[in-house]
Amino acid sequence: MYEYYDEYMRARNNSDNDAAGRWARQLTWEVARHAVGEEIVVYPLMEKHLGEKGMKLTDNDRADHQIVKELLSHLESLGTGDPDYHATMTKMIGHLRPHNDSEEREDLPMLEPILGEQASREAAAYFSRTKKFVPTRAHPWAPNKPPYETLVGFLEAPIDKLKDYFASFPTEQMKEDAERHQHQL
């Protein structure tokens, strides 16, 4: 996700609104899918295996996701040239970083030993598969807990994928250039 943001910033700094919009679209697409995937797969595991602590953590995580979803939804209503676009993008990524850090440093390290290596691998595979079927855009009004989130997601995902068909994403050449740029750093 952060590489997409870096590419958005690089394009923006080069005054390339088309490229900035493409990278922003890629970033929001990934964030939306990742958030819903966590809510469907990871958070129920935390609630089941971490008890009261898991419930508290997932309540906080879902609240963080709600803020990000609202910011992503607002971004979709703006064009990359809109003065509020960059401020909203910066606010969204600024909120996302501490949330992701917290999950990686606190949530997952607590959960993985309880799950065990095999169940952890299975959950990771399920998470990856789930991301293929969930909405690719933010829907802040949608429920954020299964089973209702799953149901609404299956209804929204085809509409999102149709919108994605007409949206501009980074080209293969742009991705190759970004990868070369990352290796140079």
Task: Give the tens place of pLDDT for each residue, 70-102.
Answer: 999 999 999 888 989 999 999 999 999 999 999
CA-based nearest residue to 134, from 65, 45, 36: 36
pLDDT at position 142, please?
93
pLDDT-above-90 percentage for the chain: 89
Rounded to an integer, what distance in angstroms lies between the CA atom of residue 40 and that of residue 73? 20
> CA-to-CA distance for 30 and 164, rounded, in angstroms?
12
Residues 36 and 151: their CA atoms lie apart, in Å, by: 12
* Count of structural domains, the chain: 1
pLDDT surpassing 90 at residue 10 = yes
Q: Is the pLDDT of residue 182 over 90?
A: no
From the CB of residue 120, how many other CB atoms can be counted at a distance below 10 Å?
Answer: 16
- pLDDT for the residue 83: 86
Q: What is residue 120's predicted lDDT score, i.e. its pLDDT?
A: 95
The three-class DSSP label of residue 117 is: helix
Structural domain boundaries, residue 136: 1-183
DSSP string for residues in 73-109:
HHHHTS-TTSHHHHHHHHHHHHHHHHHHHHIIIIIHH
What is the per-residue pLDDT for 149? 87
Q: How confident is the model over 28-42, as a mean pLDDT?
A: 96
Three-state SS at 60 = helix
Neighbours of 185 (CB within 10 A): 5
